[in-house]
Every structure is written in structure tokens, then in C-alpha cells.
Amino acid sequence: MNDMADSSSASDTVCQEKYDVFLSFRGVDTRDTFTSHLYSALVRKKIETYIDYKLESGDKIAPNLLEAIEKSKLSVVIFSKNYASSTWCLEELAHILECKDRYGQIVVPIFYGIDPSHVRKQQGSYGDAFAQLEQRFKDSMDKVLKWRAALTDAADISGFDASNKTGTEADFVEKVAQDVLSKLNHKSSSNLKGLVGIEIQIEQIESLLCIDSPDVCTVGIWGMGGIGKTTLAEAVFHRLTSKFEASCFLSNVREESERHGLKHLQNALLREILNEKDLNIDTPSIGRSFVRERLSRTKVLIVLDDVNDSSQLELLVGDDIQFGCGSRIIITTRDRRLLKKMGDPDKIFKVEGLRCDEALQLFHLHAFKNDSMGSYYTELSRMVVDFAGGIPLALIILGSLFLHCESKQDWEDQLNELKKFPNRKIQNVLRLSFDGLEKNAKEIFLDIACFYKGMDIRLAKEMLDIRGFFAGGIKVLIDKSLISISEMNCLEMHDLLQEMGLEMVREQCIEEPGKRSRLFIEEDVSHVLKNNTGTATVECIFFNMSKIKELHLNPAAFKKMYNLRVLEIYNSSSLDNKCSKLYVPEGLQSLPDTLSYLHWEGYPLKYFPSKFSPQNLVNIQMAHSQVEQLWSKGQKLANLKVIDFSFSKHLTEIPDLSLSRKIEHINLGCCKSLVEIPSYFQYLDKLSFLGLRGCSNLKYLPELPISIKTLYLSETAIKELPSSVWSNENLSHLDIEFCKDLENLPSCSCKLKFPFRFSIEGCSSLRKVWELPRYIQQQQQQSLFPLSGQ
């Protein structure tokens, strides 16, 4: 018999929240007036607000609306003159009050153009409405009584009466929005789910931030890995973000700067702060001084998470960048020295481990299905918590581990297992969760630790599929608290867990990296490729060329790695350094036929190895390569989906892809030696992206398949577009800017679904605007770009 107490259902007391606010209103009364203004005010305060844009019809409320109500923290009910005449609204209200009783949802009533007593007592227009309802529903009066009770209860809740407002309508809207924000902040403060011991730390950090001061202030959050720095910064960020004009939480600064470079991070920060998704600070047309002026006028909240180098701070928030009055910058790091360089040492908050009672509380939240436990389990819990040393992440994972122990004996066995690790380091504690995984989930965990942390989950699943793994293992890892999915839908893994995964791969062979399954450390990859020490054990190689000075590659470096599935050689430094550090003086003798994913940025040779057979390739990306000709003809590329040889200036010919019926994405942009696109392209019926931008010698384009959605042709030498382009109803992006030789556009057969961003700027051979087809003239009236010759 199970000694642990049985769990009870929590479905009646817990509801996973998705929205901050749900708006309930009578559309014909206020949709285009008060409700629209209130919605805009809430959105400006970065309050996630649900509004139903559909017209109400019928007696039954839509299931998705019921779900939206249940997943909202607060409901605003706008009682107007005709609110009670809508059974749709009345059903919404009844469900809102049920959620108030069941989940503790906050309800804010607003009486707009109606006396609150008429709502409470169903008088006036509400009395008229119910007289009709009683006739309509005379056979189900219980429903009418339910609606009456809901109106009475809602009218008794403290809210806002528009007839008593002072000032303008705008003042009233702002007052309501500010009240909603205040209530949400209070609810958030009292409901920090599972974040034991964090409330007092949030208050201490807010005190250091001095929110009411007009000065610009920087606060550092410092502590060891796994101690909760990021969690604390996120809590402060979400609590304060609505007080600022713009905000940005820049995650994983250390890792992102290593992988993509600091300029990538700078652009990401500026795009978020200035709300320009395509902004690139290095674009010549971008006025740097104007960007700085805009920043200096913007009150911002910025979090830089996991900073490990002073250059990151200098570029992102250094002295050369001035933010608006009242701006706040929060930095999390393991290195206190970085924070001392930023200024006031009194603005550094050290995150300590949890106290014993807090650690026990956090462990219990994750180890027990309910609060019921015997004294014996309390003692066992204390012994387990000792292993975690107050580190929250370790406590959560240990709790998940012990959650599945169904008896005292299971607990004791698991505890004895813990005692086998004499040093009691956190890595060993975390490894217990890994050891309980099936092989598929283990391999996925190691791949994420080595390569895919921070990657968009969609792309990561594609890579795992290429590797032959079942992506369902991702959910297993989430359930085991080994990974998580960020708000940006990216894979996240705590540093301690990642370090554990990296160490496990290194342990496969300490002496010789060429005998490990995954190669990811630059020195190890360099050693293997230079000395030809690879073996059949190697499955994946990720190599950042910018981390080494130069490498003389052994011509036979890949010969013995005949199980290699993924090869990624990239350069995170500036484009000027591409292809400058890798030398293969005798030519490359082989690439494994097993390769499914080949990403070799700046491939330094003119040809592929003569014996290379790419039949297993799914994805090949070789931008900035020196290649002149791809693999030999007659290859069956039945699995190929993605091909990218952009900026390969010597490429003169595309290989035969006529049998590549799975291909979806082809990018040959800036291949300036390319003069022809084969006619069989029209039969590639899965092709959705074709990039030919900057192919300055390309004069002819064949008919294309109707599957094409994105077509880049700017700066090419084409004179005429094939008719299949203009008849393609699936095309959503067409770029023909600066096609100087383009002479004609079709006069009548166009089936493109305008409007989408469309410009003919720089198309100097086109006829005057008044001679162009009418649909182009109409589109151009809305364009942000001028017509050539106007």
C-alpha cells in the first residue's frame, strides 16, 4: 500500500493564466468608443488584454470566450444601456463571477451611461430587457434567475461610475487603466507561484532602483550559477515594465554574444526599445546620431542577463549611450568585478541561497502532490535539502525526482543513491534526473546542452529530426525540469545543467576528443581536424572559426568520421574575416556520405571532394564560400530541403536539383557569377523561398512553381518577370527594387493579393507611372517608396 498520501484534484482551485485582462462589453454600445479607448490604454501599459472582435450572435457563448475568461487574472465588465439585452453578455458575466469564486479572479465593474442601481435591481433599460428575457426563457427561468443574481452581485463590487467622473473622458480611461494595473501588480506580488523567499528580494532590488528618482540608475544582481539571479530579474522586470515607455529583457548575453556577436545583441536591444523590427545599426541609411537622440528621450527598463565581459556592457549600455530620464538598467552576472566597473558599488545585490525553512518549502512544493506528509518524510526531506545547499534549481529538480517515489522505501533508496556522491556537488545531484531518462531523451538533452540552448524550438526540432531523434523527448525534459521554453519560444537550459551535459560528453574520452560523440570546444575541434584523430564515434561538430587564429586542416580529417551527421563551421566575427583562417593546402579528400546537415560558412575550396555523395543531405548552408561548382551531376538529392550558397561569388552553375522534390528553400543571393536559373525550377512544387537578390549577371528567370511565397530579385539584370509570378496567388513577398533592366510589368493578368510591401524603386527602365497598370498605381499610392522617374 502506498505510504504517501493520495493526491486530490486541483482543477477547481487552479487555472493557468494566459491573459491579464478580459473585457466584457456590449459591442453596439461601446465597442468603437469607451471600450476601444480603454483597450488601447491597457495595451500601452503592456497589459495583455483579451477583446472579442466578433459580433455577438445567438444565445450560447463561444467556448473560446469561456476559456479566455478562465485564463484571465482580471475581468473588466462595462455595463452600458443595452448590456442586459444580450444573453451573450449575461452568460459572460455569469461565467466571470464563477471564476471569481473558483479561482479568485478580480472583477472591476464600470457603469457607463447606466445607473448602478438599475444594474443591481434590474430597473430601467435592464428591467425592460428582463421583461423580454422572461418571455423568451419562460420554460427555463432558472437561467434568467442566474443572470439576475449575477447582475446584482457584480453591481455590489466596488468599481467606477462614469457619471461621477471628473475631467475628460481620457482622464477617466487613464484612471481605470491605472487602477487595473495597480490591482494586477498587487495580485502578482501575492501570487509569485513557486518563487519561495523571493518577495523580500524583489523589494530590496526595487529599493536599490529608486524608481521615483529622475536619474538613470544601474543595479547589478550578482551570485553563483543556479542561485536564482535570472528568476529574480524576471520577477522585477515584469512587475515594473509598465512604468516605463519601453523595455527589453536581453537573455543569455554571454552565450548570444559568443554565438552571434555583440552587434547582433545591440540590434536586438535597439529593435525592442525603439519598436523597429528591421533596424540594423550598421545600415548606412540609419542615422546613428538620431538613434542616440531617440534613446535619450525614452524612459527605458533594460535587463542584461548573464553578462560575463565588460565589452558587452560598453556596447549595450556604455557611456556612449544615453537613456531618458528615469531609465533603469539591471545586470545579472557571476562576476562582481564587472558591476564594480559600472559605478556605485552600493547598487550591487548579492543573491544568497535559500534559508533552511525556505529550501524545505520549495522542495515540498515540487516533491509532494499535496501538503500532507508524516514526520518521517519531514526528516527525509531535510536530508535531501542538505544536498542542494539552498540553490533553488537543485531543489526544484530534486523535488521532481522524489515526486515519483511512492513509498518510504523508494525515498530511502533514492536518498541512498544520493549518498553515493561523496562531494555532493550540484552537478551530481542534477545528474540523477538525467540518469532516469530513456535513451532518446538523454541524447536530446546532450544535443541541447552542446548545441541548441537558446535556439528557437521549431528549428531545434528540425535539427533533432535530422539527427534521427524523436522530438517528443523535449516534453520529457520539460517535465523533468531539465529544460524550459522561453516566452520567445526558445529552448532554455540552466547553466549548471548545461555544464553537466558538457562534462558528460567530455567524459566519453578525456584524453582524445576525437573519440567523443559531439565536438563543440574550439580547441578540441581544431585538434581533431588538424591531426586527423576523428573516429566513427563522432556524430556532430559545431566549430566557431572566430575563436582561433588559424587552422591548417588535414586533407583526410573527415575520412574516419563516417557516422558524422551534422557539421557546422561558422564565424561569429565580422564578414570581413570570412574564409581567412582555414587552410586546406592539399585539398579536402572526403566528406562523409552520412551528412544530413552541412553548414560550412566560408568554405575555402573551389570544389567538393570528388567522392562526396550528398544523397543524405537535408540542409546545406555554405554562404560566403569559394566554391565554383557543386557536387558532380547525377546525384539523387531526394532528402534535400534547404540550400543556401549566398555570397558565393565564384559559383557559376546550380547542380541538378530536378529530383529534389522536397526542396523548400533556395538562397543564391549575391552569387554574382550566376547567369542562369534552370527551367526545371518550375517543377519544384515544394519550393516556397527563392532568394536571388544581388545576382547582377542574372538576366533570365524561368517559370516558377505556384508554391513560391517569397521571391527576392532586387539588383538582378532580369528584363522581364515570368507570367507565373503575376498569376501566383500564394506569393506574399516580392522584391524587385533596383532591377534596372526590368522593362515591363503585366497589364491585366496579375493575381497577386495586394497590399503587401511592394516597391519598384530603382527600376529605371520601367515606363512612366501613368503608363503602368492600374493595380501598380493603386499600390504605389500606399507605398513608402517613391517610383523611379516621379
For the annotated catalytic residues, the residue numbers are: 92
From the list 181, 225, 228, 232, the residue with the least C-alpha distance to 204 is 232
What is the C-alpha separation between 480 and 396, in angstroms, rounded? 9
Q: Does residue 294 contact residue 269 with C-beta atoms inside 8 Å?
A: no
What is the C-alpha separation between 90 and 134, in angstroms, rounded? 14
Phi and psi based region of residue 583 (left: phi greater than 0; alpha: psi -120 to 50; beta: remaining): beta
From the list 424, 492, 407, 501, the residue with the least C-alpha distance to 457 is 492
Cell, residue 349: 545585490
DSSP code of residue 490: B
Question: Which stretches of 645-767 are assigned E, i.e. beta strand?
Answer: 665-667, 689-691, 710-712, 733-735
Tell me, letter by letter, the H, E, C secondary structure of 737-781: CCCCCCCCCCCCCCCCCCCCCCCCCCCCCCCCHHHCCHHHHHHHH
From the list 608, 629, 607, 513, the residue with the least C-alpha distance to 561 is 513
For residue 171, CA distances in Å to 20, 75, 166, 178, 705 come to: 22, 21, 8, 10, 56
- Work out whether strand 491-492 and strand 484-485 pair parallel, antiparallel, or are unpaired: antiparallel
Q: Does residue 664 contact residue 644 with C-beta atoms inside 8 Å?
A: no
DSSP code of residue 154: H
What is the C-alpha separation between 91 and 629, in angstroms, rounded? 68
From the list 661, 765, 759, the residue with the least C-alpha distance to 713 is 759
Concatenating the DSSP letter of every residue in 334-372 gives: S-HHHHHHTS-GGGEEEPPPPPHHHHHHHHHHHH-SSS-
Phi and psi based region of residue 210 (left: phi greater than 0; alpha: psi -120 to 50; beta: remaining): left
Q: What is the total residue count of the chain? A: 790
DSSP code of residue 515: G
Cα dihedral 728→707→644→592 (10° resolution):
-160
Using the structure block, give the residue that is written with the C-alpha cell 491597457: 42
* Neighbouring-strand partners of residue 600: 569
Q: Name the 3-class secondary structure at 36.
A: helix
Cα dihedral 458→459→463→468 (10° resolution):
10
Q: Does residue 361 contact residue 396 with C-beta atoms inside 8 Å?
A: no
Q: Name the 3-class secondary structure at 242.
A: helix
For residue 328, CA distances in Å to 202, 345, 435 come to: 15, 16, 43
Cis peptide before 214 (omega within 30 of 0): no
From the list 205, 235, 209, the residue with the least C-alpha distance to 326 is 209
∠ CA 675-679-680 to the nearest 5 degrees?
130
Using the structure block, give the residue that is written with the C-alpha cell 541561497: 353
Alpha-helix residue ranges (DSSP H) falling in 509-617: 522-531
**Neighbour-count burial of 558, counting CB atoms closer than 10 A to its CB (0-12 exposed, 13-18 middle, 19+ buried):** buried
What is the C-alpha separation between 76 and 98, in angstroms, rounded? 14
